[in-house]
């Protein structure tokens, strides 16, 4: 039976580039498609830049780190495995790691230089906790879940994730034992996970 009019009856839906998900684009990026990567950039840039600005703080260094991250995402795209998670999760994990790496290497460079000059170390990492939680977009679910954490859990997670601190630094900043900082981070994440109904 031939129904030649079928295709004309179903109007082709317009493809809005913004609706092409990061996951769908990734299959093409992994095959070297630069225009798909340009679309992927638009899709991921606010997420990646948000992470980097929070952790790195300095605007021009943030731009530099963001560029490095995107070039790395391009370079390793063929190795992306969709079975192990979403593109957004993969990209945000890499971005956070790179931002933290940069902050830590800058800090150790600064410490070295200061030691060389026999100067008193000015600890640029000692920004108040509040700075790491300001100017966040309010999304009800995340905020509500964060609200249900204890003060220490919230501070420990925020300092670690957005402040780029190790749990030992978190312990020093909050003046709590290292073991406690470690546990607060994990307990807090478990509580957030349960509240948000997270699917990895």
Partner 1 sequence: MTRTEDLHELAGAYALDALDDDERVRFETHLRSCERCQVEVAEFRSVALALAEDNHAQPPEGLKASVLAEVGETRQDAPQLASVSRGRFGRSQSVLAVAAAVALFVVGAVVFTRPDTDPTSEVVAAADAVVATLDATTDGQTGTVQVVWSDNQDQVAVIADGLADPGPGMAYALWFMLEDGVAPAGLFAPDDGSVAAVLAIDDLATTGWGITIEPDTGSDQPTTPVLFAGSI
Ranges within 147-176 binding partner 1 (CB under 8 A): 157, 160-162, 164-168, 170
Q: Which is nearer to partner 1, 2 or 117 (CB)?
A: 2
**Minimal distance in Å, beta carbon 103 to partner 1?**
10
What is d(CA 140, CA 146) in angstroms, rounded to the nearest whole number?
10
CA distance 116 to 94: 33
First-to-final CA distance of the chain: 46
Residue 151, number of CB atoms within 10 A of its CB: 10
Binding-residue total with partner 1 (CB under 8 A) = 92
Closer CB to partner 1, residue 114 or residue 182?
182
Site string for partner 1, 11-50 (x = CB under 8 A): xxxxx----x---x-xxx-xxxxxxxxxx-xx--xxxxxx
The CA-atom distances, in angstroms, between 162 and each of 55, 106, 131, 149, 197 are: 5, 16, 10, 16, 22
CB of 117 to partner 1, least distance (A): 25
Q: Site for partner 1 (CB under 8 A): which residue of 22, 149, 174, 185?
A: 185
**Nearer CB in complex with partner 1: 76/124:** 76
Question: Segment 83-122, which members bind partner 1 (CB under 8 A)?
Answer: 83, 85, 88-89, 92-93, 96-97, 100
Question: Contacts with partner 1 in 51-90 (CB under 8 A)?
Answer: 51, 53-54, 63, 66-67, 70-71, 74-79, 81-83, 85, 88-89
In the complex, minimum distance from the CB of residue 167 to partner 1, in angstroms, rounded to a whole number: 4
């Amino acid at each position: 039976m031939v129904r030649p009019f079928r295709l004309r009856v179903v109007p082709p839906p317009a493809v809005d580039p913004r609706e092409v998900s990061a996951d769908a684009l990734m299959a093409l990026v992994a095959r070297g498609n630069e225009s798909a990567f340009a679309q992927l950039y638009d899709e991921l840039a606010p997420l990646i830049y948000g992470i980097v600005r929070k952790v790195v703080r300095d605007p021009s260094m943030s731009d530099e780190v963001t560029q490095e991250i995107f070039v790395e995402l391009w370079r390793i795209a063929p190795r992306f495995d969709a079975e192990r998670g979403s593109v957004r999760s993969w990209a945000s994990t890499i971005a956070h790691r790179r931002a933290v790496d940069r902050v830590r290497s800058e800090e150790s460079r600064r410490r070295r230089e200061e030691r060389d000059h026999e100067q008193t170390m000015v600890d640029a990492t000692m920004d108040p906790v509040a700075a790491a939680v300001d100017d966040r977009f309010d999304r009800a679910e995340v905020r509500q879940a964060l609200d249900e954490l204890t003060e220490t859990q919230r501070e420990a997670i925020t300092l670690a994730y957005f402040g780029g601190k190790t749990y030992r630094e978190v312990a020093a900043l909050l003046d709590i034992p290292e073991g406690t900082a470690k546990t607060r981070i994990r307990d807090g994440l478990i509580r957030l996970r349960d509240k948000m109904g997270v699917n990895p």
